[in-house]
Structure 1
Amino acid sequence: MSKKTTLIALCTLMCLAGYAQIKPLPFDSQVRTGKLKNGFTYYIRHNIEPKNRVTLYLVNKVGSVLENDDQRGLAHFMEHMTFNGSKHFPKNTLMNYLQNAGVRFGADINAYTGYDETVYQLPIPTDQPGSVEKGLQIIRDWAQDATLDPKEIDKERGVVLEEKRLGKGAAERLQRQYYPMIMNHSRYADRSPIGTDEVLTNFKPETIKSFYHDWYRPDLQALVVVGDVDINAIETSIKARFADLKNPPNEKKRTAYSIPLTGKSQFIALTDKEYTATVAEVMIKHPAIPLRTAADYRSVIIRNLFNGMMGERFAELMQQADAPFIQGNAAVKNFMSNVSTYSTTVVAKPGELEKGFKALWRETERIKKFGFNQTELNRAKANYLAQITSAVKEKSKTSSDAYVQEYVDHFLKGTASPGIDYEYQLVKTYLPAISLTDIDLLSKTYIGDNNRDIILLAPDKEKENLPDEKTFIGWMKSVNIEQLQPYTDHTSSLPLLTQEPIAGKIISEEKNTALGLTTLKLSNGVTVILKPTDFKNDEILFRGNAPGGTSLYSDQDSPSAANAAGIIGASGAGNYNAAALDKFLAGKQLDAKPYIGERYQGIEGGASPTDLATALQLTYAYLTEPRKDTSVFQAIIGRTKARLANRSNDPNSAFADTVTSVLGNHNIRRTGPSIEKLKRISLNRSFDIYRDRFADASQMTFIFTGSFNADTIKPLIEKYLGSLPNMGRKEKAKDLGIHIPDGRITKTVYKGTEPKATVTLVYSGLFDDSPANRIKFDAIQECLNIRLIERLREDESGVYSPSVSINTTKFPESRFSLIIRFGCAPQNADKLVASAMDEVNKLKTEGPLNTNINKWKAEYSRQKELQLKENGWWLDYLSNQLQNQDALDQFKTDGKLSGELSQQALKTFAKKYLPDNNFIRLQLLPENLRP
């Protein structure tokens, strides 16, 4: 072959490679997609995780940016109204139907409204006759058949206003001031999805109907269907149901709004009485980063590698003894609409904004001048490859919810979705060749002076200390001319452990074939329970614990004990300090963290099967070779002290501390964080307590669940768990006598300027613990939650999201608490509390409504089906059953116990456990209402 022919061939190959990089990536072949004649788009994917479930999403290219001035907030209001009546589901019949099918409001069925989109989520069972068709009918009604009854609109005004009220506070007040600047006074600046009080209170029904008819139309809509369904049947149904959707005559143009990039730099400094931190952010805006071609995908990989390395640099800075700030970070990311940013943010220590910001900016300049080291890039690549390799291994077990967002983004933004196998090939093609030069080019492209916004936020008392624009830019310039040195990447080739463990032996083995459990007894007294599953391909979870915890130490020692695991665990283990340990673990999919609770101490984590040996080695290191790092200790204490300096400014923090203190009967172990408590934390004492808690493993029980073979895992268990120390202790946790006080208590905290109230109501007392009674409380919780939503939200329009929670304990004594929480307007608090208490009284005098009991039974059954296929559920369940000394096969009778529950049984139960004599009312009111 001649040189000329070779050159032509080479050019041809280069051109083909270039074309491959710029042509659109193929769409995932596992997805059926199409568009009807009216413009309605659909995506369908068959997926059996979870089995007998399908997730439906209605995606609308309709958001607050499309609102007229008299419609501000109505895109979001419209989202609410689709649940309040439609052609085939008038008024509240939709929620009744879904709840009876086992679908939970909020947790399962939900929706959100953004600036550019409104998205509805509907997961439904597929094993009930007609349920899928019913689900499609719901979506069809949402798309164009909402009834928008004026009475329902008026009822919903209060709900939406209460949702808006929940977001009020210092952060929201400051955001309203700096958002116009960072959005360059574009349309986005004055189209917050939550809207304005004036519009929400006064708009006419015709105004929202106009918005609905103008914008809820098939050429702006898509249906995403992912789940255990027949693709052909679903496609046929979609074509039949959605083909008659109509685009309006003389349809309005769907303007693609954008944030103009003017090239100018901007500055704003703001303070607020209730703000708790001093924050500086430098945001440098650029055109948005698309993801449509292979070249785009390569750019996204480079960006993610850059962000990972930046994160590692800042994490290391924060581990210094005199860490220069509370928190610092920097990343390249998509912001909004047509804009991406390089954004770097520092949360400064009080009075140290200059020091903190300069430390932050110094790293930005160091990156610009010197770039990263090859060892840093190698670790970032290893981590990236490990993550996508794990995703490939899990592709047959990927949940439907994980797929949905890809197709939502494809419809809304044109974001490529080629499928995990194709992405894996792209990563294998591009990742090895990405160089430091590529990373440097990104840094130089994104870190500049144009389109730069500087935002300073602080408490009012820092107002006089905040720099003006000239001073702040002077700080940046002073860093720019510093004689910076390149970053030194300290790495080590030492093994993790300072010495190899001497393996123990399995001395007994017991199999429970009915539960799929193998129980091992090790020579050092450790018990290991194995639960191999096929729920995930690349996941093993584990937890080990033993009785004792912080309860064994005095009140004086309690701060050191409570923080021991956090401090020592953050210091590294074996031959590696924290920073070096992160580097050592690069490219591995694993985690292990020690903990010391009030009644138990232990360690929990997880790993890919290929990395389980390292995870257990790390477990051994944390338990037997902990490190005491003065620098880490000082950094943690310094950051915590700085966070506490202005914490009392925040009304929610003040109220949370009051709730904790009152419910803990003002015991020192239950009061909120304070400088005084911080002073009582001793590194030496924390280390001694940590060593003491893990000095004897003979009472530890480890549980493993996930993708492993019981025989293959045994040598690892013998080596790393069988070698843990055995002192033969027989410890048990101490009863500290701390519980919610008896009697009727009322406490009001007056703090904050916003006209908002936060209410917490507590019923508590002793409890006859049994599986049957715990299930009864579960039923009481959900039935009461349903009624509070119906009454406080739907009927009285007084709240947005009331919640009911139940907590039961068996040890040190059997107790329960039922807690009701909601936010509301201060003037409505008494009325809503009375309504909530009335619903509790109805439980005692009438029992829950049978319709609500049936809804709970359906939800309980459906959730149990899903839980039994989750490694995390089994880990928690087995751990709790062992700690409560309950039968491990209890779950098998839960269905029978729940099915037998009746209105009379729950009425008797409520009457026994919810008397008025043990009732606490706690509330947060604005300070101007103080008597």
Structure 2
Amino acid sequence: MAELLGKHTAAWRLGNAFHCALLALGLLLSSSNASAADTDQSLREGTLANGLHYVIKRVEADPGITEFRLLVKAGSLDEQPNERGLAHFLEHMAFRNSRHFPDGLVIDYLNNQGMRWGQDSNAFTSQFETLYHFRARTADLDRSLLLLADWAGGIGITQAGVDAERKIVIDEWRMRQQAMHYWDTYLDSLFARRVMSEHNPAGQIGILETAKAEDIQGFYQRNYLAPRMTVIVVGDVDPELVSQQISTQFAAIPAGPAAAPRPALRDLQEQALFANYHEISRMNLPVVSWSWLERWDGVSTEQGRLRDMQRTAALAIVQRRLEAANTELRSYEQIFSGQDTAARPVQRWTLMATPKSRQAENTLQAILTEAERARRFGFTQSEVDEQLRIMTANQQAFARKPQGREEWATILVNEAMLGAMRWTPQQWLAHWEENQPKLTPASLQQALDELMTTPGQLAEVDSKGTANFGYINDNDVRRISKVVKEAKLEPQQLASTKAILLPTLPEPGHIVASTDVANGGIWTLDNGVQVLWQKPVKPAEDIGIALREPGSLLALPERLRVAGMALGHYYWENSPGAMPLNQFRDAMTGHDVQLQYTVWPDSSGFFGRANPADLETALQMLYLNLQPLAQDWAPYAKPIAALGQYNCGSAALGSRLASLAQPIWPWRCLRGEENTLWMGEVQQAQQALFGDPSRLRLVLTGVADPQATRPLVERYLGGLKLQAHRPVLQTIQPMPLNTNADERLLFSRGTEANVNWRIVTPQSVDSSDAYLLEALSGIVRERLLKVLRFENGQSYSVDSSYDLGSGQGAVLMFSYNGPPNQCPKMARETAQALNQLRSEGVTEAEVEASVQLSRKLVDERGNRPLEYARALSFHWLYGKNNHSLPPHPERILNKPALDQAAARWLQTESAFIALYGCNTDVPIDFATLWSAGAS
């Protein structure tokens, strides 16, 4: 099912589910090495004679696939001065060659599992450890354990392999300079003598450029020792059998000493400052925070866990007090609180905010003032009761989710890596409820007082530059702290309110027609809304939600297309019904729901997932989002301002490349239109798209009880009303293709090359083409990885994706980074690889791998309800009839069909390229670029 679980990755506002998960993670990471008290009969663990530890967990709910992990407590802190970067270099070598998987067979094996290297399998190296992870068919258990054993003691390190991979390691080093500088500077504010930044996993460029095979082999033999390793296997396996196999395959790993002690947090006797004003590409918003730091040795006690619970609750109340402050007068937009153990062995408790323009100092003072007020005067019983109600409800919501393969693998890795508790959310809930009576106003005040009097305190400011942010130095931090300590403060308490999404429920409509389809049915309501529902495909399956409207930006009148672009930002910035964020979070307390608006050129809608117990809440959120937008200006200000990212500068890569391909592309780069956008136009765009219920189609997957679901659908979907004065939508026509060869390339200079291809073929849409596009996208990625990475060492990674719609037709997209002086060569090699695929077609092995990958996605659709529902909504919209809804990729993916698709879509006149950061001109003649003989 190609669109099934494949198309368009989106960010999702998690509502209170996010805070619930954050709380559980914070508790998890702050716990000890102890295991759950109850004996788990489905779990087997032990230690071999050489010191290697293993944990095997049988999870029967997800048969057929097993998770494999190898944790090695050897990272960049174990490098000698002449080895900086070799721990990470070794991780790269593991995927190139090993004892039983030589000459690229590691990647071949993983791909033949219906997985994709870099997506379903990969590794990472930190200062502290290296973690290898992948999933594979349970039927291939022997080979998978053999691969883990090879990584533990049989990585093949040849000079030829080192020389080939060296370019990739250096490319990755260059790509990550910004983030490295940010992280190194932060760590240097916590640890003395630059000990952590000196051991940055990316290493030193001079050592990477000259490293030899024997250097990497020396690090490997010295540090990959059995006592430092943990093997984790999670799936529908026999723990006893797997333990026997591990005993055999890992017995030869050499024993040796455990890892050396890790550096400790330096003494901080007063406030410190970490300020960053550098350009960080991933930083979207300015942030200021005040943190309290302490050492943590990874071993906790029952008393320590209780203290952490008390601190969590106390800071959460302070956060809520800050949120309740007058939104017009306060200096910040949003406030967050939490616990972080990312910079081990530091435990960091933080109050964080996004400041308004040039209000960073005032925001820091507001944060510290409210914390100081709580320390002096404490909390009321009603505040504590309300906070415990919120936290308990969120823990209960989290505990409703069953633990599958991936969740258990994460639990076991966190235990081995971080010293976390081996507890499920259900066990954490029991622990929480047992200790909840000990969370009193007095105990919370005492916990906060102890926290705020710790010597280590850190003020942090992060922003892209200082123009709209201001500049803060150490003197400012000391001054703010002094002002707060000397301030005369008055007691304050929160008013206890319980927000609800819908104070008044809508009048329900009625289902007037019902049609059976495979595994479910289709309901038609009297207002025209159609609902496709599907039965669960696995036990305890979450509900998948996808409401799609056919039209989107291409159907809007030209005057409303920019407003339609702003609509996506409106839904991202605002809670349903434009509720204040804190009220929305309160209303979502105890509910496990995700729902987010996503827009494409020719369709848009709301997509998400919910626990079955929270289906009504999810439909209420959907109903609110489909109502006419608010009349006041405030909810529109930031969404309209966000359109500035679509200016015609080089940063608007996607918009410029798409505009290059199709001149009337709706996501075109803007030339000032956003500055004259009126909020009423955003309202009109929303009414045009969602004001006619008869255009809407909703998919619900995982519906175990359709009779209980019917009245909810009738009330919240049947309650939608036709908006009489909505703008008229236009019929979507295929967008013309730009045939001017001189305009099919964008070029700019910089320090890191980024090459983006877009191959566009306007055509009529058939949902079966999505399967073919998904397969070709994956095949192109694998071929380019081989050419650009493994053969020529030019690109660290290759990303590929696809799109399909009635306006743009079929679109294949791929991008990669590389050295700035390699742009012409990378473009030629890419074109030649595409030309070979177009002329010679796919191989039988590629067809088989594509079928296996699609089949895996289909088999696991119950684990990914959001993607499952979104995929079904696509096939329902673009399929010839309802018979296209059952996912059967093997009926479509075959060599003749894929060969024909490659020949039809990979056309010279359909290709457009954007090259950014190249330091050599790329005069491209498209006719010769695609020639196999081009040099």
Band of TM-score, shorter chain? 0.7 to 0.9
Is 1:880 the counterpart of 2:868? The answer is: no
Distance 2:194 2:436 in 1: 38
* 1:60 alignment counterpart: 72
Structure 2 unaligned spans of 5+: 1-30, 924-935
Q: What is the identity, as a one-letter code, of the residue corresponding to 2:294?
A: H
Change (3 A) 1:856 1:316: farther
Amino acid at match of 1:478: V
- Give the structure 1 partner of residue 546 of structure 2: 543
> In the TM superposition, what is the alpha-carbon distance from 1:771 to its structure 2 partner?
4.9
1:113-139: CA deviations, max 9, x gaps? 111111111211013xxx111111111
Identity of aligned residues (%): 19
1:331 to 331, 338, 341: 338
Letter of the aligned partner of 2:786 in structure 1?
E
The yes-or-no answer on 1:780 pairing with 2:787 is no
C-alpha change, 1:252 and 1:379, in structure 2 (3 Å) is closer
Matching of residue 26 in structure 1 with residue 37 in structure 2: yes
Per the TM alignment, residue 417 of structure 1 is displaced from its structure 2 partner at its CA by 0.9
Aligned counterparts of 2:271 and 2:922: Cα–Cα separation in 1: 44
Structure of larger gyration radius: 1
Q: Is the 8 A contact 2:272 2:457 kept in 1?
A: yes
Q: Work out the CA distance in 1 between the residues paired with 2:678 and 2:487.
A: 38
Q: Is 2:860 the partner of 1:848?
A: no
Note if 1:257 corresponds to 2:266.
no
Report the Cα distance in structure 2 between the residues aligned to 1:428 and 1:67, rounded to whole angstroms.
Answer: 45
Equivalents in 1 of 2:473, 2:131: separation in Å? 42
- Cα displacement string for residues 781-833 of structure 1 (whole angstroms, at most 9, x for unaligned residues): 22221111111101101110022322222x236x1222221111111111111
Task: Say if 1:217 and 1:246, in contact at 8 Å, map to a contact too.
Answer: yes
Residue 15 of structure 1 corresponds to: none
Pair 62,767 (structure 1): closer, same or farther in 2 beyond 3 Å? same
After superposition, residues 528-607 of structure 1 pair within 5 angstroms as 528-533=531-536, 535=538, 537=540, 539-551=542-554, 553-564=556-567, 567=570, 577-592=580-595, 599-600=602-603, 602-607=605-610
**Aligned-pair CA distance for 1:440:** 2.5
> 1:925: which partner in 2?
917
Amino acid at match of 2:59: N
Match of 2:411 in 1: 406
Task: State the shift of 1:295 in Å.
Answer: 3.3
Equivalent of 2:97 in 81, 85, 101: 85
Q: C-alpha displacement at 1:162, in angstroms?
A: 1.1
Determine if the alignment matches structure 1 residue 671 to structure 2 residue 659: no
Alpha-carbon deviations, 1:570-590, whole Å to 9, x = none? 666679654333323322333
- Determine the C-alpha separation between the residues in 2 that align with 1:868 and 1:331: 32
Partner of 2:529: 526
Question: Which residue of structure 2 lines up, in the alignment, with residue 820 of structure 1?
Answer: 814
Q: Is the 8 A contact 2:693 2:720 kept in 1?
A: yes
- Give 1:325 deviation, angstroms: 3.9
1:916 to 908, 911, 914: 908
**CA 1:796–1:893 in 2, change beyond 3 Å: closer, same or farther?**
same
CA displacement at 1:451 relative to structure 2 = 2.3
1:388 corresponds to: 395
Q: Count residues in correspondence.
A: 888
Contact 1:321 1:634 in 2 (8 A): no
Residue 214 of structure 2 is aligned to residue 214 of structure 1: no
**Cα 1:680–1:538 shift into 2, 3 Å:** farther
Kindly report which structure 2 residues correspond to 1:732-881, keeping only aligned pairs within 5 A, or say none: 734-735=731-732, 741-744=738-741, 745-750=743-748, 752=750, 755-767=751-763, 769-771=765-767, 773-809=769-805, 811-812=806-807, 815-867=809-861, 870-881=864-875
CA distance in 1, matches of 2:218, 2:683: 66
2:519 paired residue number: 516
User: Bigger CA drift: 215-224 or 491-500?
Assistant: 491-500
Residue-by-residue CA offset, 1:278-315 (whole Å, 9 max, x unaligned): 65444432122746443344344334434554555566
How far apart, in 1, do the equivalents of 2:102 and 2:822 lie? 29
1:400: Cα distance to partner? 0.8
Which whole-Å CA distance do the structure 2 matches of 1:635 and 1:481 have between them? Answer: 37
Q: Where does 1:395-434 land on structure 2 (aligned, <5 Å)? A: 395=402, 398-434=403-439
Cα 1:113/1:594, change in 2 over 3 Å: closer
Q: TM-score, normalised to structure 2's length?
A: 0.85
Residues 291, 457 of structure 2: 8 Å contact kept: yes
Displacement of 1:530 after TM fit?
Answer: 2.0
Query: 1:877 Cα shift?
Result: 2.4
User: 2: CA distance between counterparts of 1:907 and 1:636?
Assistant: 44
1:489–1:664 CA distance, 2 compared to 1 (3 A): farther
List runs of 5+ in structure 1 lacking aligned partners: 1-19
CA contact (8 A) 2:274 2:459 kept: yes
1:165 corresponds in structure 2 to 174
Higher mean displacement: 523-532 or 720-729: 720-729
Give the letter aligned to residue 533 of structure 1: P
The verdict on how the C-alpha distance between 1:722 and 1:493 changes in structure 2, with shifts beyond 3 A counting, is same
Distance 1:418 1:571 in 2: 35
How far off its partner does 1:362 sit? 3.8
Matches of 1:733 and 1:278 in 2, distance apart? Answer: 40
Could you tell me whether the CA contact under 8 Å between 1:763 and 1:919 is conserved in 2? yes
Match of 1:712 among 708, 711, 714: 708
- Give how far 1:164 is off: 1.4
TM-score, normalising length from structure 1? 0.86
SS across alignment from 1:320: coil
Q: How far is 1:70 from its partner?
A: 0.7
- 2 CA distance for matches of 1:891 and 1:43? 40
Quote the offset at 1:687 in angstroms: 3.7
Greater relative contact order (Cα < 8 A, sep 6+): 2
Deviations 1:684-707 (A, max 9, x none): 443454456544323332222225
Which residue matches 2:250? 242
Deviation per residue, 1:114-171 (Å, 9 max, x gap)? 11111111211013xxx111111111111111121121111111111111122133x5
1:328-348 alpha-carbon deviations (Å, 9 max, x no partner): 544332242221123344554
Which of 179, 187, 191 is matched with 1:183 structurally? 191
Distance 1:757 1:557, change over 3 A: same
Shift of 1:470: 1.9
Tell me the CA shift for residue 652 of structure 1.
7.6
Residues 440 and 681 of structure 1: CA distance in aligned 2, closer, same or farther (over 3 Å): farther
The alpha carbon displacement at 1:766 in A equals: 2.3
Contact 1:543–1:602 (8 Å) recurs in 2: yes
| Superposed counterparts of 1:588-627, under 5 Å | 588-592=591-595, 599-600=602-603, 602-624=605-627, 627=630
Amino acid at match of 1:526: V
